[in-house]
Amino acid sequence: MAKEMEVLNALDVAKTQLYHFTAIVIAGMGFFTDAYDLFCISLVTKLLGRLYYYKEGSPDPGSLPSNVSAAVNGVAFCGTLTGQLFFGWLGDKMGRKRVYGLTLMVMVICSIASGLSFGKDAKAVMATLCFFRFWLGFGIGGDYPLSATIMSEYANKKTRGAFIAAVFAMQGFGILAGGMVAIIISAAFKAKYPALPYKDDPIGSTSPQADYVWRIIVMFGAIPALLTYYWRMKMPETARYTALVAKNAKQAAADMSKVLHVELEAEQGKTEVKGNDFGLFSKQFLRRHGLHLLGTTATWFLLDIAFYSQNLFQKDIFTAIGWIPKAKEMSALDEVFRIARAQTLIALCSTVPGYWFTVAFIDRIGRFAIQLMGFFFMTVFMFALAIPYHHWTLKANRIGFVVMYSLTFFFANFGPNATTFVVPAEIFPARLRSTCHGISAAAGKAGAMVGAFGFQYAEKAIGVRNTLIILGVVNFLGMVFTFLVPESKGRSLEEMSGEAEEENGDAIELSQHTGHDIRTAPV
């Protein structure tokens, strides 16, 4: 056990090195792709409605029926939830590295297949699009627990929060890239195939070439994932998994010496550990980490109801306040362009800065303070939008609405959207870390599904104002459940999970047999 603790202590105190940043980029590009793939669909759903659900003589362009829209927007979340649970469990059973490349290939293949959805009639295209987006989500789901766990197990104590948050912050660039790709593609096709607004030319407003636009936008997500596959395959297994789960301190030391400049002796082969190898469904896990798991799952669930509702349906909110013209006043490609421009502006001004504020401050002010603050301000701004909602719909006040709406995104990302990803990768034992992160993330995706499916119907049933009030209440509940989540700033993973106590207990027992105290092995 002394050798295992020596490896882990060396990782905790290792100086920040080039490989730490390499790992951030490798893991982060997966998250870039995740965000791009999950959110790019919201840019093209209006176009899909125009292409496949046009009704001759209708005063308005074609639009996806409610059930089809909910399926197209939400089916990827169903796959993501399943993938988080499955790959989270597999990452603890088979190792982080072995599963890591598999998730990426699933994402690449299904991203391309989504854009090649078969057939010409609406049912065939929507059915195959939903099928492949489910499996795309399945691959994305695996990226959550594995990326977070790998980064937490590579990082040192001092900057661990910033490193994990930086991986997650790549999600912001993915959302931004989705908007920018949609702007470029739609602008290029608009220039090549100009069309009149729907009210002037119902049929001609949607050129046949527009069918290529949504397919290109959807398939583009495969490129960044494909570029990082080679580097993922070159990453060694994390030392914490090898030492604490595979019980091979010699291999852990050898692996880390290849990529990090740490001085380690690797004398031992396999080590026999007498630690408390309690399982996920044991009383001991419930006693030690039950409330922690409740805290991480509940906060992530509540956050994602609000976060994904806002993200997926911001185009509807912008239309409701008149920031984007009514559909009949635009051509199909003009609508894609304007929706993408609005989403890009929100991402650039609030989403991306929010992520990087978290990276900058998470190891200074801590996870708990950032999460509590984020939920608090999300609650405040949501109620500030909802209560005087009529005021914001007036033309003179629309800019104010967009600013307030942007601030809810900023404090989601400089707040619980980042911390709910970071904390589950730090507070659970190594043998259950990926599984527990997967469970927490899956609870988040359950919230995203509530947001994706629920907002669609709530908006029509009770109106935007009442829906925003409900989201404000959801954010307040997130603030309450934050008090179940422990602060992990500046503490080692083994200290947080209780594994350091197990190691020390084993060390004391061994010292009684050998006459030597091995708890203070040199690093």
What confidence tens digit (pLDDT) does each residue in 374-390 have?
Answer: 999 999 998 998 888 88
Convert the pLDDT of each residue in 242-277 to its tens digit: 888 888 888 888 888 877 776 655 444 444 444 457
Distance CA 83, CA 137 (A): 7
Nearest to 14 by CA among 147, 150, 160: 160
User: Which residue do the tokens 């499916």 mark?
Assistant: 453
Secondary structure element (H or E) that encloses residue 125, with its range: helix 122-154
pLDDT at residue 272, rounded to an integer = 46
Distance CA 249, CA 109 (A): 37
Convert the pLDDT of each residue in 19-41 to its tens digit: 888 889 888 888 899 999 988 99
Burial class (CB in 10 A: 0-12, 13-18, 19+), 29: buried
Secondary structure element (H or E) that encloses residue 75, with its range: helix 66-94
Q: Of 3-12, 113-122, 294-303, 460-469, where does mean pLDDT reach its minimum? A: 3-12
Please list the residues that pair with 389 across neighbouring strands.
none
pLDDT at residue 268, rounded to an integer = 47
Structural domains in the chain plus CATH codes: 15-265+281-512 (1.20.1250.20)
- Whether the pLDDT of residue 292 is over 90: the answer is yes
Query: What is each CA distance from 316 to 50, 324, 345, in whole angstroms?
Result: 16, 9, 16
Convert the pLDDT of each residue in 192-239 to its tens digit: 999 999 999 999 999 999 999 999 999 998 998 888 888 888 888 888
Q: Concatenated DSSP letters for 16-48?
A: P-HHHHHHHHHHHHHHHHHHHHHHTHHHHHHHH
